[in-house]
Amino acid sequence: MSDKSVGERIAALRIARGLTGEQFGRALGLTKSQVSKVESGTRKLDISEIALVADALGVTLAEVLGVERRGSLALAARVMTAPGRDETAPARRRVRQVLEVEAALGDAVGLPAAGPSTAGAAVLEQIHVEGLADTITMGCGARLAEIVRERLGLGRAPIGDLPALVERHFGLSAVTWPVGKAVSGLCAHGADVALMLVSSSFPVGHQRFTAAHELAHHLLTDPREVIIEGDVFAVSTPPERRANAFAAALLMPADGLREVIKDRAIDEVVIAELMREFGVSYTALLYRLADSAVRLISTKDRDSGLQRAPTSVLRAAGDPAPTELTWPDDARRVPPRLLSAAQQGYQNGRVGLGLLAALLDEEADSLYTRLAEEGMTPPAVHDDMGDL
């Protein structure tokens, strides 16, 4: 593909969006003259710069390059065109950025596609054997949680780093990002790539439940390629209730709950201990304790408990940091597999700064300074004039 054809495509996309060369250049940190050179094909762009161009134009890399959309690029395009409200734009944009970076890293450094571990493959095989993907019931979700815990050797113990577990065993890239409260989570999965986003604009317990919920959609091969979730606790359709049943059973196994409670009455102190032990929200915990498979509290006690504010319950229990469990943490996490590949590519000169900036959603200038302070710099450019 010639630089001229790419430049012509960029010019057409810019004009279609009503941007002048000066406005477009300002978004890219280029002068109007430099934009003209890009669009005429006399200034070549590397893949990282093309990623910045795509972001400034609000399109995918594939649209800029004029290539067939496949893999990560195809999924990125579908994320942007899936039905949804305007409030979902920050979540869509973040997912699109990460998917496009993954596609670019595949070209630049030969990054292989992620896949399941041996244990993860055993989970997928058991799902197939039992026909769980075709069973849209809450019991199916609970059974899937049993399979995951058994095949991954989790027993009845709490799950620590859930995003890392998801990536290690199921090849599902996990992004945690503060994208607002219009979206709790987003699952995008295709034939050879899968990614979930969890909004850290919610408390940690809510984030973990959302991550488990999205994992259920992926494992059960939900036919929707792009699933955008509002409040995961306010669902009504069978597939969503099935995903919630999975999340509750995965994060709060009945035997694990009983082991912590022992013979104690379930009061504020026990509730606070369970929330911290299993990393779950107050609401999710009460619903699980009253679940017919657990029956540790009555539905009447559950409904009464739901009338109380979680922070007040934790304070009554003497919890040392109630807001740690009830306030958003605005965490930012990108898949370590992508970050490591991008950083190594940057240091050996095969990946530009723009690609890293897109992955981390940072301004290129400030990112360059931060990386330099951490001792991470690209190879020095040889100056031929210095030999004269």
Distance from C-alpha of 326 to C-alpha of 328, rounded to nearest angstrom? 7
CB burial readout 202-221, b (16+ within 10 A) else e:
bbbbbbbbbbbbbbbbbbbe
CATH fold of the domain at 118-251: Arc Repressor Mutant, subunit A (1.10.10)
Fill in the amino acid letter for 2: S
Distance from C-alpha of 53 to C-alpha of 339, rounded to nearest angstrom? 21
- Per-residue model confidence (pLDDT) at position 48: 63
Domains of the chain by residue range: 118-251, 254-326
Q: Tell me, rounded to whole angstroms, the distance of Cα 241 from its chain centroid.
A: 21
Its pTM stands at: 0.82
Which residue is listed with tokens 């493959």?
121
- Per-residue model confidence (pLDDT) at position 388: 45
CA atoms within 13 A on the CB side of 366: 5
Distance from C-alpha of 112 to C-alpha of 347, rounded to nearest angstrom? 19
- Per-residue model confidence (pLDDT) at position 323: 95
- Per-residue model confidence (pLDDT) at position 62: 66
- Per-residue model confidence (pLDDT) at position 84: 73
In degrees and rounded to multiples of 5, residue 94 shows phi and psi of: -65, -40
Two structure tokens written together for 203 = 């408390």
Three-state DSSP class for residue 303: helix
Give the angle subtended at the CA of 349 by the CAs of 343 and 352, to the nearest 5°.
65
- Per-residue model confidence (pLDDT) at position 249: 98
Fill in the amino acid letter for 323: T
- Per-residue model confidence (pLDDT) at position 17: 77
Sheet-wide strand order for 226-229: 173-177, 194-199, 185-189, 226-229
Largest distance between two CA atoms of the chain? 86
- Per-residue model confidence (pLDDT) at position 122: 97
- Per-residue model confidence (pLDDT) at position 318: 97
- Per-residue model confidence (pLDDT) at position 42: 86
Q: Which DSSP letter does residue 159 get?
A: P
Two structure tokens written together for 90 = 């920050």
- Cβ-based burial of 356 (10 A; exposed 0-12, middle 13-18, buried ≥19): buried
- Per-residue model confidence (pLDDT) at position 47: 62
Fill in the amino acid letter for 307: Q
pLDDT values of the chain reduced to their tens digit, one per residue, 388 residues? 455 678 888 998 888 778 898 999 888 888 988 889 888 888 877 666 777 888 788 776 667 776 544 578 888 888 887 777 789 999 999 999 999 999 999 888 989 889 999 999 999 999 999 999 999 999 999 999 999 999 999 999 999 999 999 999 999 999 999 999 999 999 999 878 999 999 999 999 999 999 999 999 999 999 889 999 998 888 889 999 999 999 999 999 999 999 999 989 999 999 999 999 999 999 999 999 999 999 999 999 999 999 999 999 999 999 999 999 999 999 999 999 999 999 999 999 999 999 999 999 999 999 999 999 999 999 876 555 444 4
Cross-strand partners of 328: 203
